[in-house]
Amino acid sequence: MQNDAQPVWRRNLYVLWGCTFVAGIAFSEVGPFLSLFIAQLGNYSQKNLNFYSGIIYAVTFLVTAFLAPVWGRLAGKRGHRPILFYTAGGMAIVYILTGFVHSVWLLFLARAAIGAFSGYIPNAQALVAAQVPREKSGRLLGTLMTGSTSGVLVGPVLGGLLAHVFSIRQTFFITGGLLLLVAVLSISLVKESVHPDKTKAPVTKQSGSFLKQFANPRLIMVLLLSTLIVQLGNSSIFPIISLYVKQLMHGHGAITVIAGVISALPGISNIMAAPRLGQYGDRHGSGRVLLMGYLFAVLVYLPQGFFASLIVLGVLRFLVGISDAALFPTIQTLLTKNSPHDALSSIFAWNQSAQALGSMFGALWGGAVAGYFGYNAVFMSTALLLLINLIILWFTEPSLRRGTR
């Protein structure tokens, strides 16, 4: 039976890596240019433009946070494969329609709809997590995570090139076409060997509480909180990185190109490090990788607030990708290893909700801190948040530092 199962999960892993890479690009490539697109929709004052940009950016993550668990429950009843098709296809249609909008409020509704269909990545992760051998889950989930993570980090660079060569509207159409391809590949190439029992009552109803399914509910809650904080830290930097690069370059030179390259550096190191760190965690304990990842993240975020050097910033952003490779995939692995099989769809959906809330709060946090204290304070406050998260993990879950998780 094992020999029959291996080709299934291996092919799913390869196919879904590419699909989540494209989905990650779709989520991130338009974000940095939304304010420019909004400015094309009307003659707005700077104050109104900032207001519209803020709410339109945030609404996607807000809707994602609420609807991600719904996609998880549907996957538990109908299987992950059809949900992959529905979410990718839904996003494709919305992106194509977004290219036709000429009103800021229609754009607001379109971005909300993107959030409503953003269940693709967690369902892809849950499908792979349910099929791979658990003793290899760290390395394999780490590999899969590099797809979406790299797509999110490469997206702004690709989006900038597409918008420059074509236009922002054409970028929406191109992204929609790529997502249609993802939907077709998901339904035609992905195989789901274990079909859900539709006659079986949901676990949450049997137990009376979602958390009662887990042997260690406290660990699950701490891991979800950790996802929120790590994503909050990443997203607090994302809105200001281009402006910070502009400041370091004194407003001269190929600012957008340099900013795009620096934004992409964490993705490169993430691809290199995530599978190796996942394999190390499988052998020596994922908890140790997680704690070391937090410590490393604090050490690479803090100096970014002190050194006003473009080269130093580039090196440190490259190292951020290694810390992300130790954090996000390891949290996913720990959730997989400490969750019953029937709860994987739901727990990955809740994890996406935490990540979406982190994105929303992070953008608001980064903008507020930069506005009051300057760009350097954003990096230092992010390091402080990650340090607090490390202290929470250290004292609430001793099993992590003993390497028994």
pLDDT of residue 200: 41
**Rounded Cα distance, 143 and 129, in Å:** 12
pLDDT tens digits for 179-200?
A: 999 999 999 999 886 554 443 4
- Decide if 51 is inside a domain: yes
Decide: 8 and 193 in contact? Cβ < 8 Å: yes
Structural domains in the chain (count): 1
- Decide if 52 is inside a domain: yes
Alpha-helical segments (H) within 117-240: 120-131, 137-165, 168-189, 203-207, 217-237
Decide: 345 and 80 in contact? Cβ < 8 Å: yes
- Decide if 204 is inside a domain: no
Q: How close are the terminal C-alpha atoms of the chain, in Å?
A: 28
Does the pLDDT at position 320 exceed 50? Answer: yes
**Rounded Cα distance, 225 and 354, in Å:** 7
- Decide if 128 is inside a domain: yes
Nearest to 110 by CA among 201, 38, 188: 38
Which phi and psi (to 5°) does residue 223 adopt?
-65, -40
| pLDDT-derived band at 255, boundaries 50, 70, 90 | low
- Decide if 376 is inside a domain: yes
Q: Hey, what's the torsion of the CAs at 13, 215, 274, 156, to 10 degrees? A: 80
For 158, the token pair is 């690709």
pLDDT tens digits for 22-36?
A: 888 887 787 666 767
For 312, the token pair is 């130093």
pTM for the full predicted model: 0.71
Range of the domain at 240: 2-190+210-402
For 2, the token pair is 């094992």
- Decide if 203 is inside a domain: no
Mean pLDDT of the chain: 82
Tally Cβ neighbours within 10 Å of residue 134: 13
Q: What crossing angle do the helices spanning 137-165 and 255-284 adopt, rounded to 10°? A: 170
- Indicate which CATH number applies to the domain containing 171: 1.20.1250.20
- Decide if 14 is inside a domain: yes
- Long-range contact set of residues 49-55: C-beta below 8 Å, sequence gap at least 24: 52/104, 52/108, 54/363, 54/364, 54/367, 55/108
Buried/exposed code over 219-250 (b: 16+ C-beta within 10 A; e: otherwise): bbebbbbbbbbbbbbbbbbbbbbbebbbebee
- Decide if 200 is inside a domain: no
Q: Which residue has the higher pLDDT, 58 or 377?
A: 377
